[in-house]
Structure 1
Amino acid sequence: MSNTSAIEYLSRQQELEDEARKLMPWDPKSCSYEKGALRQQVFACRTHGNIGVCYSCSIQCHTSCDIVELFTKRNFTCDCGTDKDQSKSENQQFKCQLRKNREPDVASLQNVYGHNFRGLFCSCNQEYDPDSSAVMLQCVLGSECNEDWYHDYCIVGKPKQEVKKNGDEETLADGMPPLDSFDAFICWKCVSKYEYYFQRLMSHPLAQDIIAHRIQHGSSEEKDVSHSVKKRPIDDGGNEYSLTLKHGYSKKLAKIKETLDKETDKLYKFLNDLVPFLVNDDPVYEEPEDTATEADDMVALLLQNCMQREHAVAGISAFNTLKTRLSEYLKPFAESGKVVSGEDINNFFKENDEK
C-alpha cells in the first residue's frame, strides 16, 4: 500500500458513499404494502413463489433471494409478507421484515401476474440477457401484455439470428424506427385488443401529432403514419402491428378527449375509463431519498449492484464494524495531518484480526 493521508482516505470513502447513493438513491426503510395499489418499481422474487415485491422489500427482506428487476408496474401492491408469499424460512420471526407482521397479510386481488414474474420477457419468453446489445422496449399500455418488455427483432417478427449487425454490435432490426423519433411504445397484442379505438385515433385529424409509427409485426415494413392521416380507419389486411407515440402525446390525447361526447362516444370511454394513464401519466411512487451516511447503508447499495445478494448481510455487518474501527484509528492521523503508512494500516488489520 502506498502512503496516503488519513484525510485523503476518508475523502475517498465519502466518494464511494456518494456513488452508491446515485446508483440506489431511495431509503429502503418502508414497505409500500399499506399504501395499496401504486405505479411503482417492482421486483420479482423467484425464491418466494414468483411474487412481486417493492423496492424496499427487495433490499431488506429478500437479500438472499433470486430477484429479477421488472422496473415499473401499474396498480401493483407489494406481496412481501402476504398469503401469496411462499417463504420457506422457519426461523424468520416476521413475514415482512419492514411491516413486522407475524401472520400473512391479505394479498391484493388487483395484482396481475404474467411471465415477467418468472423472469421471462417478450413474446419469445426468454430471460433478460444483460450481455445482449438488443434493444428492449416496454409497452406503455400493457392491458393485454401486463406491461411486458419486447426485443426490437420480436417487435418486427424476426428471429434473433436475422438481426443485422454492425461489427460486433447489433443495430436496430429492419422495420424499427429510430429510438429518438418516438416517446412510447404500444405492443401489437394491446393494439389488437383495442384495435377499434386505435383505428379511430389513427383516423382523427390530430393523429399526426400523436402517432409516430405503425410497425408491422411479421414484416420488415415500418409505416410512418404521421404524414399520411386518412379520413377513415386504416385497413391492414388482418396484419398485427405495434404503434409508437410522439413526444407530448398525452396533451394531444387530452385535446381529442375534449371533443368527444362523454355520454355516447366509445372512444371517450376508452380514454377516460380504460387507459386514463395515456392521457394523464401516472407518477411513479418512490421512497424518500436516502440522506443517511451510515456505512451499512452505503455497503448495502454497493453490494446490491456488485455482489451476489446472499453475501450482502454478512458483508454489511462486517464492513460496518470495520469502517467504524478504521475511522476511529485514523482520527488522530487526520487531526495531526500525519501521513498514514502501509505499516500503520497493516498494524490496524493485525490488531483487528486478533479481536
Structure 2
Amino acid sequence: MSEEQTVSLVDVLEEDEELEEEASAVLAGSDSDHCSYPQGYVKRQALYACNTCTPKGGEAAGVCLACSYKCHEGHDLFELYTKRNFRCDCGNRKFSELQCKLYTEKEEVNSLNKYSHNFFGVYCTCGRPYPDPDDQVEDEMIQCVVCEDWLHGRHLGCLVPDCVELQEMICESCMNKNPFLWTYAAHLAVPGAAVQVKEETGTDKSNTNLPKKEEKPSCKRSREEAEPSCRLKELDAIGKKRVQSGAVFWPSAWRSRLCSCNACKESLSEVGLSFLLDESDTVLAYENKGKSNEQGQQRHDPLMSALDNLNRVQQLEIIHGYNDMKTELKDFLQRFAAEGKVVTPDDIRQFFEEQQSRKRQRVDAGRFYCT
C-alpha cells in the first residue's frame, strides 16, 4: 500500500494559479461594470460578439465586457479575446431591438471599428468555429498581431517555434499586404526553416520590400534639418533575404527595432500600422496590466492570513472541501465552454447557492438523535 502523498493548501491553491492569471489577464484589463463607449476607441479591450442579436448574414458588431454581462446575459456570445482601437457597438443601429442598459447616448455606428469573420464565430483561413466540434486534431490557435484573426498552428505555413506565448506572429496574408515587413523579417524575425539568406551583389535593386512612401523622392532640406538615416533602407541595402512564404514569428521587443524616422512613420500611418511602433499595444502588455490590477486588489489576502492560525487537522479539512468544490466548479464551467457561453455573476451566484444547499443536506443527513 503506497504512502499517502502529503499536500499543503498552498500547493493546492498554486495548481489553479496559472488558470486564474489567464482569466485576470484578459478580464482585469477591462471594466466589467461600465460600458467602455464613453472612452471612445479603446486602445485594447476584451470584446464579444452576440450571435443572438447580430447573427451571421447581418452586420458585424462587438460589445464590451460590461455589456456582455449586463445587456446580453443568456445570449449566444462569441468570445473574441481582445481587439485594438474598438468602440462598443451595444445598442446602436446594428441592434434593431436591443437597447444598451449601461449607456444610451450612442451614435448609430462606430465608423472606425474594424470587423472580421471572427465576429460571426469563425476563425483562421479555414473559416471554422472554435471550439470546432468536427475537428479532432489538437491544435493551438495563434492570433496575428496585424489583422487580429486567430489561425490554427497547422495553417500558418511554417513551424510554430518554442515559447510561442512570448512571441508575436504576423500571418502570411498580412506580410504580403505589407511587403516591407519581409525586409525586417530577414533580420529580426525568429529563425526558422523558412529562412533563406542571400547576399545581393551589384547596385541594381528594386527595393520592392520598402513601403510605398520610401519610393517617393524626399524634399530638399538643410543639413541641420536632416533626420537620422532610415534603418529600413539600411537593412534593405544589406541584401539579406528571407523566403517570402508562411507566417512570421517575432521575438519580444522586436517593435523597438523598427525604424521610426519621419518617412517610415508616415508610411506606417498610411497603411494603418502605426501601432507597430507602440510597445504598449501588445497583448502581452495588456495582460500584464490586467495581472497588475488583479494583484493590487489581492495585496491583503484574508484567506492566507486565516490559514496561518489553523492547525494541521483544520487545514486538511479545508483542503478536502476545496478539492470537492474545485472539481464541481470545473464541471460547471466546462458546460459553458462547450456551449460557447459567457459565465455571468448570476451563474456563479447560483453555483454557490447550490453548493450551500447540498452542504446543508449533507449536514442534516449526518445528524443522530437520542431516543
Match of 2:239 in 1: 232
- For residues 25-104 of structure 1, what are the structure 2 equivalents within 5 Å? 26=28, 28-38=32-42, 39-49=44-54, 50-87=60-97, 95-99=99-103, 101=104
Give a deviation string over 1:145-168, Cα, whole Å, max 9, x none.
xx1111122111xxxxxxxxxxxx
CA RMSD of aligned residues (A): 4.5
Range that drifts further, 46-55 or 305-314 = 305-314
Contact preservation (8 Å) 1:119, 1:128: yes
- 1:68 positional shift: 1.1
User: Given the superposition, is the C-alpha separation of residues 291 and 64 from structure 1 closer, same or farther in structure 2, using an over 3 Å criterion?
Assistant: farther
- Where structure 1 has 5 or more consecutive residues not aligned to the other structure, the ranges are 1-13, 90-94, 157-174, 215-220, 294-299, 331-338, 345-355
Match of 1:269 in 2: 266
- For residues 142-157 of structure 1, what are the structure 2 equivalents within 5 Å? 142=147, 147-156=148-157
Match of 2:194 in 1: 222
SS in 2 for 1:68: strand
- 1:321 positional shift: 7.0
Q: 2:145 aligns with which of 136, 140, 143?
A: 140
SS in 2 for 1:189: helix
- 1:41 positional shift: 1.2
Query: What is the distance in 1 between the residues matched to 2:199 and 2:34?
Result: 49
Query: What is the distance in 2 between the residues matched to 1:291 and 1:199?
Result: 43
Contact preservation (8 Å) 2:48, 2:68: yes
Query: What is the distance in 1 between the residues matched to 2:335 and 2:355?
Result: 19
What is the aligned residue count?
265
Query: What is the distance in 1 between the residues matched to 2:106 and 2:342?
Result: 24
Match of 2:122 in 1: 120
Query: What is the distance in 2 between the residues matched to 1:222 and 1:194?
Result: 18
Query: What is the distance in 1 between the residues matched to 2:126 and 2:253?
Result: 31
Give the AA of the match of 2:94.
K
Q: Does 1:179 align with 2:162?
A: yes
Q: Does 1:249 align with 2:254?
A: yes
- Where structure 2 has 5 or more consecutive residues not aligned to the other structure, the ranges are 1-12, 55-59, 201-234, 303-328
Query: What is the distance in 1 between the residues matched to 2:141 and 2:197?
Result: 22
SS in 2 for 1:120: coil
SS in 2 for 1:42: strand
Contact preservation (8 Å) 1:186, 1:244: yes
State percent identity of aligned pairs: 26
Contact preservation (8 Å) 2:143, 2:169: yes
Query: What is the distance in 2 between the residues matched to 1:235 and 1:21?
Result: 40
Query: What is the distance in 2 between the residues matched to 1:342 and 1:20?
Result: 35
Contact preservation (8 Å) 1:140, 1:186: yes
Give the AA of the match of 1:32.
S
User: Given the superposition, is the C-alpha separation of residues 28 and 271 from structure 1 closer, same or farther in structure 2, using an over 3 Å criterion?
Assistant: same
User: Given the superposition, is the C-alpha separation of residues 19 and 177 from structure 1 closer, same or farther in structure 2, using an over 3 Å criterion?
Assistant: closer
SS in 2 for 1:277: helix
User: Given the superposition, is the C-alpha separation of residues 246 and 44 from structure 1 closer, same or farther in structure 2, using an over 3 Å criterion?
Assistant: same
Query: What is the distance in 2 between the residues matched to 1:76 and 1:301?
Result: 32
* TM, length-normalised to structure 1: 0.59
Match of 1:280 in 2: 278
User: Given the superposition, is the C-alpha separation of residues 325 and 198 from structure 1 closer, same or farther in structure 2, using an over 3 Å criterion?
Assistant: closer
Query: What is the distance in 1 between the residues matched to 2:254 and 2:106?
Result: 42
* TM, length-normalised to structure 2: 0.56
Query: What is the distance in 2 between the residues matched to 1:80 and 1:234?
Result: 46
User: Given the superposition, is the C-alpha separation of residues 316 and 65 from structure 1 closer, same or farther in structure 2, using an over 3 Å criterion?
Assistant: same
Give a deviation string over 1:146-196, Cα, whole Å, max 9, x none.
x1111122111xxxxxxxxxxxxxxxxxx404232671111111111110x
Query: What is the distance in 2 between the residues matched to 1:46 and 1:340?
Result: 44
Give the AA of the match of 1:179.
D
Query: What is the distance in 2 between the residues matched to 1:311 and 1:248?
Result: 35
Give the AA of the match of 2:149.
D
- 1:234 positional shift: 3.2
Query: What is the distance in 2 between the residues matched to 1:286 and 1:82?
Result: 28
Match of 1:107 in 2: 109
Contact preservation (8 Å) 1:37, 1:75: yes
Q: Does 1:211 align with 2:189?
A: yes
